[in-house]
Structure 1
Amino acid sequence: MRVNPQGAAAPESGRSFTTDARRAQIVTAAIETVAELGYARASFAQIAKRAKLSSVRLISYHFDDKEDLFQALVDTVQEQARLAIQPRIRAHREPAAMLAAYIEANLDFLAEHPVEVRALVDVFANARRQDGSSLVSSAGFDTPVALLVQHLRDGQRSGAFRPFDAEAMATAIRASIDAAANRISAGNSAGSSAGDGFDPRAYGRELVTLFDLATRNGEAS
């Protein structure tokens, strides 16, 4: 999806705003259906019912098959996350502040979008082809771990971060964030963050403290 300077979504090449609006309606229904019923029960019939479509043929008109629809679901949620998170990171210049913003923005997104998070986690976990391979991918997006590795190494070169294995640290940071997404996904209802009272923002604040202590260069002035 492209975004124009005013922040509104621009239609993909060769598609009208009406077509994009219908596609977005179907993707939203797919997200809500997966979040409530799980990927295994998210049939075209269930999605069409939630989208208030007169026929499942309207889904097939806009999407080639189930893989096309669920790839659109993944791309949509990831784009929502990118638009929410990246500006908050870029608002800072100091490596430690950028890392803190990265963690907090990720956890804020999880807190504010439990339905989308639940759907995304379920699709990644359960959408499989007959050969067992994943039905969807993150192709076209930089991997979060690779971006973190680059940021951590930049911080080390500037002297803001102490020497450490950047790949190991990035993996630990990303795994901690993904653990929160999995906890939200395990919540009892689509309207709550988690069934055990899990607070993503409080968790995020703890992660900021933890990884600040783990990465900071005590010798830096």
Structure 2
Amino acid sequence: MPKEEQANRTFTQNARRTQIIQAAIETLAEIGYQKTSFNQISKRANLRSTGMISYHFSGKPELYSEVAATVLAMAEETTGSRMEREETFRGRLRAYIEANFEFLARYPAHTQALAQILMMDCGRDITRSQTLARSVLSVERLSLLLEQGRSAGEFGAFDALTMALAIRGALDGVLRRYLKNVDLDLERCAAELTAAFDQCTRPRQ
């Protein structure tokens, strides 16, 4: 949300919006998009009525936009903080992959809620999530990292876009299986993918 808009709200109003967003995340994760309603969210948030949700959000599109933006901002923070600690491009690539799994492990409900929203193809209404998605999940961001590392001599002579698509595709494949409640060892997946892409991006000796 715009900082000016948030600043104009009282502490209580912001706290209530946060409470509603968290309840929406938990509800979406537990019962799915189709079954989630203002009534279900209101019960989980212990609100007196659904009118309290309507006071803060004009409808589901705005609420789900805020849910998506909240989750993606958290993913951005997780990924960004891990990458910033690395001094090399190879280290940042490793951090990028590992941070995806770290977020899955730490915030399973948030991941499931975001997936529910995106699966319903609400892109026309949930516009705020798109900007964040470009910065957090986009192939373009990953491709830029690979190009910079290649220019620095840390990566081999491969097509950055193709490699970025391969990395993102592998991560998304694990995510899809994870969201289907497949029993996955996330630590092992992270280690395997990190090692695999570390190897195939190395310069030729």
The alignment's TM-score, normalised by the length of structure 1, stands at 0.85
Q: CA deviation at 1:140?
A: 2.6
Superposed counterparts of 1:1-221, under 5 Å = 12-128=6-122, 134-137=124-127, 138-141=129-132, 142=135, 143-187=137-181, 196-219=182-205
Kindly state the Cα deviation for residue 60 of structure 1 after the two structures are TM-superposed. Answer: 0.4
Q: 1:53-85 CA distances to partner (integer Å, 9 max, x unpaired)?
A: 110000000011110000000001011111122
Q: Structure 2: which amino acid aligns with 1:170?
A: A
Per-residue Cα deviation, 1:94-139 (whole angstroms, up to 9, x for no partner):
11111001101111111111111111111100254xxxx6542433
Stretches of structure 1 that go unaligned for 5 or more consecutive residues are 4-9, 188-195
> In structure 1, how many angstroms separate the alpha carbons of the residues matched to 2:121 and 2:157?
40
Gaps of at least 5 residues in structure 2 are none
- Cα distance change of structure 1 residues 127 and 26 upon mapping to structure 2, 3 Å threshold: farther
Shift of 1:168: 1.0
Structure 2 letter corresponding to 1:210:
A
Task: Describe the shift of the 1:40–1:170 C-alpha distance in structure 2 as closer, same or farther (beyond 3 A).
Answer: same
Deviation by residue 1:194-219 (Cα, 9 ceiling, x = unmatched): xx321122101111011011111133
Output the CA distance in 1 between the equivalents of 2:197 and 2:41. 41
- Give the paired residue count: 201
- Return the letter of the residue paired with 1:161: F
Give me the TM-score of the superposition, normalised by structure 2. Answer: 0.91
Contact 1:11 1:20 in 2 (8 A): no
Which has the larger helix fraction?
2
**Aligned AA (1:66):** K
Secondary structure at 2:86's aligned position in 1? coil
Q: Distance in 2 between matches of 1:127 and 1:22?
A: 27
CA–CA separation in structure 1 for the residues paired with 2:72 and 2:174 = 16
